[in-house]
């Protein structure tokens, strides 16, 4: 346990895993498993939402930013690595989730 709790009060912690992963890499993991870039879920969400359909449907185009690898990826902060470094890679965790 950390003895100096007040020091942690304003700290910023970033947890990305034992290796950094970008939006493009996440998309590639999913695409590899399902064989396509599927955004069909947007239509379901739009139909269920009380928000204007045009706004919810715009999510379909927001995915392009991820596919192009333009989403920011931050390195896991040194504080997290010092306290409890993650041991499972994103790819391993994703495959485990699919099996369960």
Is 25 within 8 Å of 32 (Cβ atoms)? Answer: no
Is 33 within 8 Å of 96 (Cβ atoms)? Answer: no
pTM (predicted TM-score): 0.51
Any domain includes 33: yes
Any domain includes 86: yes
Any domain includes 8: no
Any domain includes 53: yes
State the total domains in the chain: 1
User: What does the pLDDT profile of the chain (100 residues) look like in tens digits?
Assistant: 556 666 666 777 777 777 777 777 887 888 888 887 777 888 888 888 888 888 887 887 877 777 777 776 677 888 888 888 888 888 888 889 888 7
Any domain includes 100: no
Any domain includes 9: no
> Which range of residues forms the domain containing residue 29?
14-95
Read off the tokens for 80.
């997290």
Question: At how many degrees (to 10) do helices 59-67 and 41-48 cross?
Answer: 150
């Amino acid at each position: 346990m950390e003895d100096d709790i007040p020091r942690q009060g304003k700290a910023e912690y970033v947890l990305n895993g034992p290796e950094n992963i970008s939006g493009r890499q996440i998309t590639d993991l999913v695409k590899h498993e399902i064989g396509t870039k599927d955004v069909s879920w947007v239509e379901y969400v739009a139909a269920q939402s009380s928000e204007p359909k045009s706004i919810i449907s715009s999510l379909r185009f927001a995915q392009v930013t991820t596919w192009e690898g333009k989403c920011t990826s931050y390195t896991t902060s040194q504080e997290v690595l010092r306290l409890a470094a993650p041991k499972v890679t994103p790819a391993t965790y994703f495959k485990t989730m699919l099996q369960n």
